[in-house]
Amino acid sequence: MVMWPLISFIVIRKDFREYADFVFQEYGGKVKHWITFNEPWVYSHAGYDIGKKAPGRCSPYVNSKCQDGRSGYEAYLVSHKLLNAHAEAVDAFRKCEKIGIAHSPIWFEPHDFDDAQDGASIDRALDFMMGWHLDTTMFGDYPQKMKDIVGHRLPKFTTEQKAKLKNSADFLGLNYYTSTFSNYLEKPDPSKPRFLQDSLISWETKNAQNFTIGSKPLTAALTIYSRGFRSLLKYIKDKYANPEIMIMENGSY
């Protein structure tokens, strides 16, 4: 996974295309299926919104260990540059058989099945986690829910960029590991923007009836919930007109 400081994303589109040209020339005769980026939402969110992964940037109100950063802003900027870099790589790779992005969404169940807000939050949660990069490569722009909520903090694509991004994935790579409960966030704090708050949900390990989701083997780091995998596949099938899906990662670790 590429891990550069924020400043490098100013030139990443040109550099990434040059890199794509090189590897295609070297390996295009042998490799027929390509992935430009693996788990982009994890990279942007964990690296630039909560400071959990390199380069460890975020706002102090999110993580006191972060030395610098701006949560609620940089993650969107990073993904914006990343998506444009993907579009350039696809443009260079068009001679290969298939090219796409590997996404890593989790599935959400409502925290309270009697609360309509919790049920409605699932689509919004998936728009922020998966649609952020999948809608853009399918339809050429961010999900409308993201644009409505994030507002000026979400960068805008030019008409030319939208045209390059639309249908820029021949298949959908999918990494699925776990699921969680989605609880509606009633009172977000606008003075402390961050990705998770923008989606207007909180992730809960137990629902309103105090039940956990799935099961967790002693050797596993994440809860296993196979029903969530089925629900996620059906959601993708219905929303994105049954695209080709390649399972890249699955299980627990």
Residues labelled catalytic: 39, 249
Question: Exposed, middle or buried by CB within 10 Å (0-12, 13-18, 19+), for 126?
Answer: buried
Cβ(133)–Cβ(140) under 8 Å? Answer: no
Residue 245, sorted as left (phi over 0), alpha (psi -120 to 50) or beta, turns out to be beta
What's the token pair of residue 215?
A: 């099961």
Strands in 89-186 per DSSP E: 98-103, 107-110, 171-176, 179-184
CA distance 228 to 236: 12
The DSSP secondary structure of 178-214, one letter per residue, reads -EEEEEE-SS--TTS--HHHHTTEEEESB-TTSPBPS
- 17 residue type, one letter: R
Q: How many CB atoms are closer than 10 A to CB 89? A: 23
The length of the chain is 253
Considering only CA atoms, which of 238, 99, 107 is closest in space to residue 169?
99
Strand-by-strand arrangement of the 245-250 sheet = 33-38, 98-103, 171-176, 245-250
